Structure 1
Amino acid sequence: MNRELDFTPVDRVLVAAGPAAAGLLLAAVLPIAARWLLGLHIVLPFRAIVRVIGAIDRPWELAIEAAVLVLAGLFVTVVLFERLVVVTVDPVQARLGETVIPRNDVAALYPEGDSLVVLDRESRQAARCMTRARRGALAEAFQQFGYPWRDTDPYANLYQPWNSAADSLPPAVDAVLAARAVAVRKKAAKEAGELRATLEKLGYAVRDDGGKQFWRPLVRS
């Protein structure tokens, strides 16, 4: 027996049609809003762009604008279907998209922002993903099969802010955190993820909050 956690019927409709519908609505509203802003005679950032949008009033211009925004909405829908993963849970393992994690390897699962985080027995991040299911459905399913679901990170109180001037960390760990800070600042997600894995090999976990890094030692369960 297992449970597959996907979009609810309502969520599926919202994700499939919502972005395109929003694009169509924006196509009707943006020119009116732009003309209203221009009529206020105030300093506007990107005023030239606002002027171009405000000049859209012919049917063919509105049709082109609507087509562009609807296509943008459809692109958002495709991205959401690709990035939000289906979760399948059974007593033996959990499948998060393409990632399979044995039940015995899971020390904790908890929601963090829009993501589901899975920690292994060394308190390392075994998986992090954005799911199609809502938080309540995830909690119910994992608890049903005896997984250690938590409402928050069970090790949150162990994290400390990283400071390049601090001397409480081994030099090798501090160097990796310094490199990762640069990667995070440049929004180089792949490099930041690789450096996270390097930190875990050195015995430390890291998380980001408000553009800052926080670290803690790994904890064996």
Structure 2
Amino acid sequence: MTTVQETAAVRYGIWVLCPVLGAAAGWGLKLVAGWITTLKWFPFQGVFELITDISEPWATLTALGLGAAAGGLLALLWAAEMMSVEISHERVTLKKDDKTFDFGRNQVESAFADGKQLVLLSPSGAELARETSDLSRAKLEAAFTGQGYRWRAEDPFAADFKMWVEHAPELAADVNALFTARRKAISKYEHEEAAELAREIRKRGVYVKDQKKRQYYR
């Protein structure tokens, strides 16, 4: 079996690096807070005035603590976006954000990378999965071909995708409703919600991908 995932340095390093950078940013913000209060045009003056009103060492400790907490939240979001792919002669398993997507060998006809998305196709051309990650395309290709799977250079159905518009007549009402909800999630940068809605759409036999915040389907 071959496993493709982020390096250990990335997987574990973010839990140190992000809080440290956040704390440094908080400390830097505290240092310039006094100067910012002199710029009456600068927004959020109340926040910076509050910072300057806190006595030392509490001002520094608060800035470091809040910055580290913000960095920890960033690390949590980053970790949720990471994906690992386990590939064997018998099956392909994707693991992401506490979710597992498992496919037997006879289900997977081929795989390819569409931008940052790994796509698995069935023998009938249905999309089994379309998941976003920062995994290396070259490593994914080597892992799939090394286990005997077909790796495609591009999406063989790229020309079949159409841009989704409100109440698309050829789509069922519930599918259009999911597309509408997904459009809202995309506009709010709710990536996991958008991904989950795409999975729900896929269950209904419609396959969706995004280009510049526009949704396309086939």
What TM-score comes out, normalization by structure 2 length?
A: 0.75
Q: Does the 8 Å CA contact 1:86/1:132 hold for their aligned counterparts?
A: no
Instruction: Return the letter of the residue paired with 2:149.
Output: Y
How far does residue 180 in structure 1 lie from its aligned partner after superposition?
A: 2.3
C-alpha deviation, 1:55, in angstroms: 5.0
1:151 Cα shift?
4.7
Match 1:195 to one of 198, 201, 204: 201
Q: Which amino acid aligns with 1:120?
A: S
Pairwise CA RMSD of aligned residues?
Answer: 3.0
CA drift of 1:35 comes to: 3.9
Deviation (angstroms), 1:61: 2.0
Opposite residue 18 of structure 2, the aligned amino acid is: P
Q: Which runs of 5+ in 2 are unaligned?
A: 186-192
Partner Cα distance (1:88, 1:181) in 2: 30
Percent of pairs with identical residues: 25
Partner of 1:157: 159
Aligned 8 A contact 1:118 1:125 in 2: yes
Gap regions ≥5 residues in structure 1: 217-221
TM-score normalised per structure 1: 0.74
Tell me how far apart the structure 1 counterparts of residues 150 and 52 of structure 2 sit (CA, whole Å).
Answer: 55
Q: Using the alignment, how far apart are the partners of 1:7 and 1:164 within structure 2? A: 38
> Superposed, which structure 2 residues align to 1:33-182 within 5 Å?
33-42=32-41, 44-53=42-51, 58-97=56-95, 98-131=100-133, 133-164=135-166, 169-170=169-170, 173=171, 175-182=173-180
**What CA distance in whole angstroms lies between the structure 1 residues aligned with 2:88 and 2:198?**
32
Aligned length: 206
Shift of residue 63, structure 1, vs aligned partner: 1.0
Cα deviations by residue, 1:79-111 (Å, 9 ceiling, x for unpaired): 544552322112221111222212332233233
The residue aligned with 2:189 is none
